[in-house]
Amino acid sequence: MMRPTANDLTLGQRLYERLDIFARHSEDEGKLTRVFLSPQHRAAADELLGWMREAGMAAHVDAVGNVVGRYEGLVPGAPCLMMGSHIDTVRDAGKYDGNMGVLAALACVEEFNRAGERFPFAIEVVAFGDEEGVRFPVTLSGSRAIAGTFDQTTLSLRDKEGVSLRKALTGFGCDPGKIAEIARRKEQILAFVELHIEQGPVLEDAGLPVGAVTAINGASRLSVEVRGTANHAGTVPMHLRRDALAAAAEMMLAVERRGGAEPELVATVGRVDVMPGAVNVIPGLVRFTMDVRSPSDSARRRAVADIDRTIGQIAEARGVDIAITLTHEAAACRCAPELIEAIGQSIARAGLPVRELPSGAGHDAMAFSRLCPVGMIFVRCEKGISHNPAEAITVEDADISMRVLMDFIRHFDAAPLKRLDEDRPVA
Ligand SMILES: [Zn+2]
């Protein structure tokens, strides 16, 4: 494949402009906010349905609000290569998170349709509606429903206005009673591949527009409670205090140190509550959160165990009591080695060095890990910023993304994947 010249960015320009057009589906003027099953989500879905049909796809909105477009292969009814991402956003979001993966996959099909190109497999492009989990206290509803792991009890969860997920789905025109029916069987999906902005600074730092994702990091979230004794800040000498905040500060530095002790491991304290929280009172109670992620589940568990032990030692030395609670745990999702390799080959054919990197953020692709092989392509974003209106990509990078994705599809071969799938251990 030829590298694009400065004058030949048609694919990238078209994708870039369409991302701007699509970002108009927002509940706030001048900002992008599009939450699951909102009127703006409906308008975005309708526009997407139109674009999919113009691109020669059969398209519909399924029972959980996913927009699904199918471009048949050489033989109608063939198993599919599924691609896509999410079209819900956080509040005051960027235009590229999620949306780029959907519109890039759609743009590939447009090119194939225009040229009359078909493949031994079908291509399905899916726009999931609930990746960010902003409206309801649940996430990945759309991708989990297709993967057959949708939790029916979440239908009674409510948003802050008291509207249940079930009612919101009905209002969107969906039949929540049919969600179980949209689950795919293994033989229907050859692979799921998601293109997404990196949402981190690694590619930019390496000077590369795209990269092949190796795994979506697993995560542990913990909450730590530190109990000391609240007392007068003026009357208690330093050696007679049980200062919960000073103890917590030492613990937080230990978390940071352990996070930095090995590559690809990250550990963050993101929230601290101090009680009573007064200028003249020694803090008696501190609660802080801890988030630990790694592409390796064993490395993550080891780090959590180490941090747990260190926090215990600090508490003992300072005479405070602690309680540590695990609030969330998700295993890492390993991308299929064959897909990492195939994506790398497409990047190399675009004339670029191949960089492999893990994903520190969660993605819809995780939901597919037990159904089919999963692959992800990351696209450089400016300063690694996302979940922010300052989120930015370049036309040149959009163009390279399109070329890599089209090349990947053209070379996609399900045969080695199928063989592997038979003896793939469940993670
Ligand atoms: Zn996203």
Evaluate whether 254 touches 268 at the Cβ level (below 8 Å): no
For residues 339 and 191, give the distance between their C-alpha atoms in angstroms, rounded to a whole number. 9
CA gap 113, 73 in Å, rounded: 11
How many angstroms is it from 364 CA to the middle of ligand 1?
A: 8
% of the chain at pLDDT higher than 70: 96
In angstroms, what is the span from residue 123 Cα to ligand 1's centroid? 21
Task: Please give the distance, rounded to the nearest whole angstrom, from the Cα atom of residue 89 to the centre of ligand 1.
Answer: 8
Q: Looking at residue 424, what is its pLDDT?
A: 46
Q: Is the pLDDT of residue 359 over 60?
A: yes
Residue 307 confidence class, pLDDT cut points 50, 70, 90: very high
3-state class (DSSP) for residue 155: helix
Report helix, strand or coil for 299: helix
Neighbours of 109 (CB within 10 A): 24
Which tops the pLDDT comparison, 410 or 30? 410
d(CA 147, CA 372): 9
Provide DSSP, 50-83.
HHHHHTT-EEEE-TTS-EEEEE--SSTT--EEEE
Cα angle 404, 406, 407; round to 5: 65
- Run of H or E including 293: strand 285-294
For ligand 1, the distance from its centroid to the CA atom of residue 100, given in whole angstroms, is 9
Ligand 1 centroid to Cα of residue 196, in Å, is 7
Kindly give the distance from the C-alpha atom of residue 325 to the centroid of ligand 1, in angstroms, as a whole number. Answer: 28
Average pLDDT over residues 289-306: 97
State pLDDT tens for residues 310-332.
Answer: 999 999 999 999 999 999 898 99
85 CA distance to ligand 1 middle (Å): 7
- C-alpha 379 to ligand 1 mean position (Å): 12
SS3 content of the chain, % helix, strand, coil (to 5): 40, 20, 40
- CA distance linking residue 28 with residue 17, whole number of Å: 20
Distance in Å, CA 131 to ligand 1 centroid: 7
**DSSP 8-state assignment for residue 336:** P
Closest CA to 168 of 297, 38, 259, 76: 38
The encoded tokens of residue 28 equal: 């706030």
Rounded distance from Cα 46 to ligand 1 centre (Å)? 20
374 Cα to the center of ligand 1, angstroms: 16
Instruction: Name the more confident of 404 and 422.
Output: 404
